Chains A and B, each alone.
Chain A
Amino acid sequence: GEDVEQSLFLSVREGDSSVINCTYTDSSSTYLYWYKQEPGAGLQLLTYIFSNMDMKQDQRLTVLLNKKDKHLSLRIADTQTGDSAIYFCAESMRGGSQGNLIFGKGTKLSVKP
């Protein structure tokens, strides 16, 4: 079955880089996503990557995809206290333009001043 795994916690100092890792199982996933959830709030789509890419950069965010190992990572450069949140990795269930997402349990990022 489909499963997305993430480490549960990450703590970094303000100004450092954060790297959040994720592994997934569905090799047919076309897109992989990173969402951010702040306390008491809904999920905010941060970025996504198409499965035929191995890297995508968007301002302070860098996504790396190793399709062979089914490993996805999110790097946040110059981490700020406002980046403290839970980050979810998700894969598209069937690929393509529709269908539900499968989420990991989330990685709680704590940023210390």
Chain B
Amino acid sequence: GAGVSQTPSNKVTEKGKYVELRCDPISGHTALYWYRQSLGQGPEFLIYFQGTGAADDSGLPNDRFFAVRPEGSVSTLKIQRTERGDSAVYLCASSDGTSANEQFFGPGTRLTVL
């Protein structure tokens, strides 16, 4: 069956520009997570949605980062006024909310800010 998909796979932008990263979770999964992975590090949590609402956004680094999930399925991570330090792989995961909290990851979007 289809897994989590993310688009684009690569995004190169200039400092100060706005970017949007998209995540399509596994069909029927109610929980959706965004993580960021820098080189040589493990994924770091950004935000998670239960349905349409952000259940926890404590990992967002500052107010330049925002995410939405208006219909409880696809989610978009939005970054304003990008900085070089935002360069990383942005990972999305989804979960069906069962007791084991198994999270299934997409291939990620590699963001490069020049």
Contact = CB atoms under 8 A, between A and B. Distances in A.
Interface of A: 4, 30-31, 33, 35, 41-45, 48, 50, 88, 90, 92-93, 96-106
14 contacts: A30-B101, A31-B101, A42-B91, A42-B106, A42-B107, A43-B105, A93-B45, A98-B31, A99-B48, A99-B56, A100-B35, A101-B45, A103-B43, A105-B42
B33 A100 contact: yes
Nearest to A89: B42
B102 A106 contact: no
A43 B45 CA distance: 14
A100 B56 contact: yes
A108 B84 CA distance: 27
Given A42-B106, A45-B102, A48-B102, 19 more contacts: A42-B4, A42-B91, A42-B108, A43-B93, A43-B105, A48-B100, A90-B42, A92-B101, A97-B97, A97-B99, A98-B31, A98-B55, A99-B56, A100-B48, A101-B101, A101-B103, A103-B42, A105-B41, A106-B41
A101 B100 CA distance: 12
Interface of B: 4, 31, 33, 35, 40-45, 48, 50, 55-56, 59, 91, 93, 95, 97-108
Nearest to B95: A98
B91 A105 contact: no
Would you call the interface of chain A mostly helix, strand, loop, or mixed?
strand
B104 A45 contact: yes
A43 B40 contact: no
Contacts of A45: 102-105
B107 A41 contact: yes
B97 A100 contact: no
Contacts of A88: 42-43
Given A96-B101, A97-B97, A106 B42 contact: yes
- Interface pairs A-B: 4 shortest CB-CB: A103-B42, A100-B45, A43-B105, A42-B105
- Interface hub of A96, A99, A104, A105 (most chain B Cβ within 10 A): A99
A33 B95 CA distance: 14
